[in-house]
Structure 1
Amino acid sequence: MAHIDLDDGIPGLPSLLRFRPETAGPLGALAETLLRGPGPLERGERELIGAYVSELNGCRYCAGTHGACAAAQLPGGTNLVEQVHADPSTAPVSDRLRALLAIAAAVRRGGREVGEAHVAAARAAGATDVEIHDTVLIAAAFCMYNRYVDGLATAVPADPSAYARAAERLVAEGYAPR
């Protein structure tokens, strides 16, 4: 049960945005820009970074939703997402994405945890400065979203297929509030 008076029939972030609609625009715009806007990272890669950070943070709602979005947009689908969540060092992803996931994990621990070695490894694997920047910003934003969702104890779908349905809508329509 949520800590505040939310509609428990609406899980996760959407319940919070409905509770306080004045936050829906800026938070939705941020997600839309980070996950779907122009940039060198594929949309599925961006979703995977967000899902991975959410998994590390233990945010079931965000890990499930964004994991499903990543699965819908990347070859390897759900199996790939599960492998990254279990251990990105052995998951079948490019060295570039593996290095970016290591940066995301460092951001999750704390911004100052990202060191020159992380950046050098990402560059050596072919990551650009924009990709490194976007990874740090996606990871930092997901830490905020995760804490927002879990800090108010929003509902989590009991049916795992709810994540696939949410992903279908998000992949097609995006994050901008309707």
Structure 2
Amino acid sequence: MAWIEVIPYEAAKGRLKKLYDRVKGPDNNVDNIMMSHSLRPHTMEGHMALYKYVLHHTGNKVPKWFLETLGVWVSSLNNCDYCVEHHFAGLKRLLNDDPKANAIRASIDARDPDQAPLTDREKTAMKYAVVLTGDPSGVTEQMIEELRASGFDDGEILEINQVTAYFAYANRTVLGLGCSTDGDILGLSPGNSENPDDWSHK
């Protein structure tokens, strides 16, 4: 599950139990990435707030399936299989087009977004994410201009930036603590975008 001690749902008390109840899925299932925070519940609360607002908020304008695509892409670049599998399952559910989802996954596995069945502007976002993930100081103003020229407004560019940055954090949480998918239910997410305080996974 993880290389450090975690407190299972059944043993949780107080603030931790309340947080688990907010993030749990079917049969009281709590994703291992969230349980890895169990010794410091305040960090779980911060993590979930960031995750919910960056990926699952009604104020976002970039389609959720593409934000998930960026998450899978960044996680693959960071060799984080945990997040790749979780978020690819979410991507497939949101896209509801298995051939397209599988073609996107194949292009990600090949590290070649040009092969993906994506628009030119979506591919531009994928290329921006490569640089921000692997060489953050290499991001240039020209790259932002290219995102604008491809059709993204500045708010959407911010969304792309924040999703890419969030997954750098999530990947390092998982990889740095040895989280596995053992016992997790893949593809669940806090789907109620209208309510930022609803963190339940369905």
TM bracket, shorter-chain basis = 0.7 to 0.9
Q: Residue in 1 aligned with 2:136?
A: 111
1:2 counterpart SS class: coil
Percent identical among aligned pairs is 26
- 1:67-78 equivalences in 2 (<5 Å): 67-74=88-95, 75=97, 76-78=100-102
- If each structure's helix is expressed as a fraction of its own residues, which one has the higher value? 1
Q: Residue in 1 aligned with 2:15?
A: none
Q: 2:103 aligns with which of 76, 79, 84?
A: 79
TM-score norm. by structure 2 comes to: 0.74
Are 1:29 and 2:49 an aligned pair? yes
Gaps of 5+ in 1: none
Deviations 1:98-131 (A, max 9, x none): 1111111111013222123322222221111112
- 1:30–1:120 CA distance, 2 compared to 1 (3 A): same
- 1:1-178 equivalences in 2 (<5 Å): 2-6=2-6, 12-37=32-57, 38-74=59-95, 75=97, 76-86=100-110, 87-157=112-182, 165-167=185-187, 169-170=188-189, 172=191, 176=199
Gaps of 5+ in 2: 9-28
2: CA distance, partners of 1:124 / 1:30: 28
Deviations 1:52-104 (A, max 9, x none): 10110001101111121112212422332332342112211011111111111
Larger Rg: 2
Is the contact made by 1:11 and 1:155 (CA closer than 8 Å) also made in structure 2?
no
Number of aligned residue pairs: 172
CA drift of 1:7 comes to 6.3
Question: What value does the CA root-mean-square deviation take over the aligned residues?
Answer: 2.6
